[in-house]
Amino acid sequence: MTMAATQVLRSEWTKIRSVSSTVWTLGLAAVVTIALGIVISLLSRNEFDTMDVRDRLAFDPTYISFAGMSLGQLAMIVFGVLVVGNEYSTGMIRSSLAAVPQRAEFLFSKIAVATGLAFAVGIVTSFVTFFLGQAMLGPHGASIGDPGALRAVIGGGLYMTLIAVFSMGVAAMLRSPMLSLGILMPFFFLISNVLGAVSATQKVGRYLPDQASSKILQVVTPIDDDTPYGPWGGLAIMVLWVVAALIGGYAVLKKRDA
């Protein structure tokens, strides 16, 4: 790595940590994911004795402990959008590109730093969420050594990271934090849920980024599940979404004025 590249990375790190909103969103992602995971795990433990045989066969203690990620990803989306979008909302993009005229180096240095930070928070959050969730589940909990459990925990960290990076790519394409959030929030929390809930569109919905990548969190395959891909296949689909978003973000940055 050249001295110039190192300086760009250091500059982007300084930008991210100096904006309190981006740091707070990462903290919020961790707190929400862990707290909700604890609550839902405790509720599941109390309801276990009343479950029928079918529900007990489908009981997935690892997946249950990650239930909070459905809301935790909200904060990761906001983090990803703010990392890139703040450059445009504050007008800093002009001075940033004046300092680093190589637009690919500028964008991907920013994304690399933010991705590393998101992964660090995501992987720690995932492990803490798993162990506290299993503690709440008590005798119904799983062990990290159980088949598939470690994969799911590591996958949880990757899931949160990829959600953030996808949001960065979208923000780079749209060049506006408000517009990016206005599209991403309904996309993940409305459109995805509707497509996944309606039988006629379920097969389409399963290829959306959040539905595909959440497969990595499952250890016990749901009864009657006919999903044509496994945990790593689902994560690969999410990676394709991320790559497409990043390519789109770079294409817009390259062709349009700041």
Provide the percentage of residues in the chain whose pLDDT is more than 90.
62
**What's the length of the chain?**
258
Chain segment 6-55, per-residue pLDDT in tens: 887 888 788 887 777 888 999 999 999 999 999 999 999 999 888 888 88
Read off the pLDDT of each residue in 115-125 and give the average, rounded to a whole number: 96
Is pLDDT above 80 for 4?
A: no
**DSSP letter for each residue of 157-191:** HHHHHHHHHHHHHHHHHH--HHHHHHHHHHIIIII
Residues 189, 102 contacting (CB under 8 angstroms): no
148 secondary structure, DSSP code = T
Is pLDDT above 70 for 3?
A: no
Q: Mean pLDDT in the chain?
A: 90
Read off the pLDDT of each residue in 125-151 and give the average, rounded to a whole number: 95
Contact residues for 68 (Cβ-Cβ < 8 A; gap 6+): 32, 33, 34, 35, 36, 37, 38, 39, 40, 129
The residue extents of the domains of the chain are 3-255
* pTM for the predicted model, two decimal places: 0.93
pLDDT at 257: 63
pLDDT at 190: 83
Q: How many CB atoms lie within 10 A of CB 44?
A: 21
